[in-house]
Amino acid sequence: MIVTHADDFRFAAPPAGIEQLQEEISSLMKIKWTNELGKEWSRYLGSWWRRPSTTIMDVRPDDKHIQAVLQLLQLDGPQVKGSRTPQWSPQAEREVPVPLTVEQTRQYRTAVGCLQWIAIVRPDLQFTAKELARSLSSSTSMDWNRLKKAGRYLVATRHLYLQLECHPDQPLEVEACADASWAVDETRRSTTGVALYLQGVLLYSASKTQATVAKSSAEAELLAANSAASEALCLQSVMNDFWHEVVPVRLHTDSTACEVALEQKGLGKMKHLEVKHLWLQEVLRTRSISIHHVPTADNKADILTSHRHPARTEQVRPWLGLRTDEQEPKGLN
């Protein structure tokens, strides 16, 4: 298997065939080989990777991107106090926002860009990065305060990494977790959170602002379920190409109203919904996908929809595969 990104690639092969494959590729092009992926951290595509065992893969952002954010926010000193959650400060939210200067706007955009790159392998920052990115065109002092709170969270969680651990004993099925926070911002648009798992491995996670204004929490949850199902069905199709068999999908939601709406036919009491939002009703009847209720306290997509208090943040992070090292891995900048 070869994963290619522009002029960088990584391949997986049986140990006996690695040397031969390297020779064949080297005969076709000039290439610089790096170390094999093993128990020590190695850099690839702006992140650091290691494989501590045959069933575990670890990945973490390059520390230089974290350092860049902290330097821009002047939070890189040894005395800076970290935060256990990126949740906005209620006191700062009450201040009258003032437009940032041209230089501050440039710094804001640079820091948010770094934060978005970090969030690729830090799901706990995806909601934060998404919300901060919405203010790139017209940033204010409120946005700057929010960014600094995210920076303080980075200070406290600098050594977190994403652990992708496969559990071969689990059924071969896609677990799709969907959640939504209804009308949480000034525009009254809800946020969708999606997390896809396969045998315990987090394959995909996202935090997205919904395109339309949901008129109820049930509608917001339904739109989130639609997003999760769409991603899961795409993954199901890819795996069907690999293994020539249909891998079932289990769709999890903590909304009873959403579950009831999908199990019935037609609009029911939710006549304000467009019919296109109920395509999942038909999918549940015709495709290998089923919907299951999960308690809100156990929803793995919970942290992708809004900020949570410190205890809840620390509880949900391991569900997304986030772990921490006590010491800085060797070789990181």
Q: Mean pLDDT, to the nearest integer, of 8-35?
A: 87
pLDDT of 282 higher than 80: no
pLDDT of 45 reads: 82
Among candidates 300, 319, 216, which has minimal Cα distance to 250? 300
Choice among 189-203, 226-240, 246-260, 261-275 with the minimum mean pLDDT: 261-275
Q: Mean pLDDT, to the nearest integer, of 255-274?
A: 69
Among candidates 332, 333, 321, 327, which has minimal Cα distance to 121? 321
State the Cα–Cα distance between residues 251 and 232, nearest whole angstrom.
9
Q: In the structure encoding, which two tokens stand for residue 269, read together? A: 């009491």
Choice among 132-141, 164-173, 250-259, 280-289 with the minimum mean pLDDT: 280-289
State the Cα–Cα distance between residues 58 and 127, nearest whole angstrom.
22
pLDDT of 36 higher than 90: no
pLDDT of 276 reads: 58
| pTM as predicted | 0.89
- Which of 24-38, 129-143, 173-187 has maximum average pLDDT? 129-143
Segment 172-186, tens digit of pLDDT: 999 999 999 987 777
Mean pLDDT of the chain: 89
pLDDT of 328 reads: 47
Split at pLDDT 50, 70, 90, the class of 8 is confident
Question: What is the phi/psi pair of residue 81, to 5°?
Answer: -90, 130
Split at pLDDT 50, 70, 90, the class of 34 is confident
pLDDT of 333 reads: 40
pLDDT of 271 reads: 52
Burial call 203-235: b when 16+ CB within 10 Å, e when fewer:
ebbbbbbbeeebeebbbbbbbbbbbbbebbbeb
State the Cα–Cα distance between residues 113 and 100, nearest whole angstrom.
17
State the Cα–Cα distance between residues 101 and 220, nearest whole angstrom.
36
Sorted by where each starts, the structural domains of the chain and their CATH numbers stand as 1-33 (no CATH), 63-161 (no CATH), 169-300 (3.30.420.10)
Segment 303-332, tens digit of pLDDT: 999 999 999 999 999 999 999 975 544 444
> What is the enclosing helix (H) or strand (E) of 118?
helix 102-119
For residues 250 and 173, the answer to whether their CB atoms sit within 8 Å is yes
